[in-house]
Amino acid sequence: MSAQIPACLGTCATVPPLVEFDFCNPELNFGEIQKIYWTSFASAGFTDITNILDPAWLRIDNAGSDPDVIRELDVIGSKAAPESTEIELSLDRTVKGLKTHTVTFKIDDTSALNHAMIRELECGFQLRVWYANGEGLIWGGDDGIVASITLDEIIPETNDELITFEGTMKWKSKFSPERDVNPQA
């Protein structure tokens, strides 16, 4: 299944998108990105990310050497509003250009192997990524998000704080990433 992009068939007579609000029982979803999954750009994504039996879930392996392996990072992260440029059109209309989406995160498990990983990521290649919170949601859809990850080692001034690896995951897209129920949660 390929990425679901909104049709954008808008005309001046387009029906506004559906919405849902429940005063007595609103759907609330909590934050904190806790997992980042990534694989090589050339690797396939999922057939159905919401299906725990999808063979891609079996490719999660932090020690494997298969080129299609999916790595799973334990992180503390967040995603702020994306940056975008407003483009002015005739007749006082505006549209937004591509948005730069950024997930900021840190890793507190600073093992030698994880240190080697941040050094390798400094080569600057593109990855296929997904991110998930602890409440059972995952972003990236079946195909994942093509993004770049940068990480740096942060050493605090005191011995009362931990060394961490802190970084960003960035990509450009007109749309927010797809969101699904995470069957791993």
pLDDT at 13: 75
Task: Show the 3-state SS of 86-102.
Answer: EEECHHHCEEEEEEEEE
d(CA 112, CA 61): 18
d(CA 88, CA 7): 22
- For 36, 111, 127, 169, the CA distances from 124, given in Å and listed in that order, are 17, 21, 9, 11
pLDDT at 6: 76
Helix, strand counts (H, E) of the chain: 1, 9
- For 14, 27, 85, the CA distances from 172, given in Å and listed in that order, are 27, 28, 12
pLDDT at 15: 79
Per-residue confidence of the chain (185 residues) as pLDDT tens digits?
A: 456 777 776 677 777 778 899 999 999 999 999 999 999 999 999 999 999 999 999 999 999 999 899 999 999 999 999 999 999 999 999 988 999 999 999 999 999 999 999 999 999 989 999 999 999 999 999 999 999 999 999 999 999 999 999 999 999 999 999 999 999 98
pLDDT at 102: 98
Q: Output the pTM of the full model.
A: 0.90
pLDDT at 24: 94
d(CA 128, CA 174): 17
In the structure encoding, which two tokens stand for residue 93, read together?
């209309």
- For 7, 17, 31, the CA distances from 98, given in Å and listed in that order, are 16, 21, 24
